[in-house]
Amino acid sequence: MKKILLSIFSLAVVAGVNAQSEIKPNQGDVTTEFGLSGGVLNSNFELNEQGNLLRFRYFAKETLAFRLGFGLSSVRNTKNLYDPSDDAHKGTFKTSQTDFLVNLGVEKHFEGTDRLSPYVGGDLLLSVANKKTEFNDATIGGTAYAKDNSGSVKGPGSVGFGVRAVAGADYYIAKRVFLGAEAGFGFLSTKKGKTTTNINDAPTVTQKSAGSGFELAPNVITGVRIGFVF
């Protein structure tokens, strides 16, 4: 009888351990997450890094995860400009901008509790931005109709590179579903590119880089976020 009871107790313990291990990520699991904003009854989902980054983590083992985040945004606008003396004549002013952001990093997770998973880590950051303006029968600034005035302005684009250290924690509110918070400290160096201007048949005008920027600061990466384990 004692052996039977001991066997049942052992099975219960093993089952409990297995159930707990299913709450947190295991080796080979992938997570993705979204930021949460708004109040309790008015919550919104958004991507990380102010809505610009889709982020994943791959758990090489239960205590080690690799981070990958990337974002791509493209905005295009067209403004119509009409001849004030004859609105049958129309000019156009077009603007476009593309931004690309990627981060690669690693996390070291600590034991925590059955549901809490604290971690520290680091990221490499890379950003690239390009913009272009095209005008046809319009002023170069797109303020008015200008017959036979056409051309384009390319740039200035920018390239940024940075590193940051991060610390955060995930709390698993259900099986493989977590709420988390993360903060970081790092720097980002940005350099602007050249600008080329073409107007009608005039020679191309090239302006050299407008300069560079450097930022060293702490920041909250996403605030409160909700994530899922696959």
Q: What is the pLDDT of residues 100-157, one digit of tens each?
A: 989 999 999 998 899 999 999 999 999 999 999 999 999 999 999 999 999 999 999 9
How many Cβ atoms from other residues are within 10 Å of residue 157's Cβ? 19
pLDDT tier for residue 224 given thresholds of 50, 70 and 90 = confident
Whole-prediction pTM value? 0.76
Structure tokens at 98: 């593309």
pLDDT tier for residue 41 given thresholds of 50, 70 and 90 = very low
pLDDT score of 37: 53
Nearest Cα neighbor of 166 from 149, 179, 181, 145 is 181
pLDDT at 34 over 60: yes
Cα separation of 131 and 154, whole Å?
A: 6
Structure tokens at 30: 């992938």
Tell me the one-letter amino acid at 67.
R
Lowest mean pLDDT of 23-27, 51-55, 212-216, name the range.
51-55
pLDDT at 85 over 80: yes
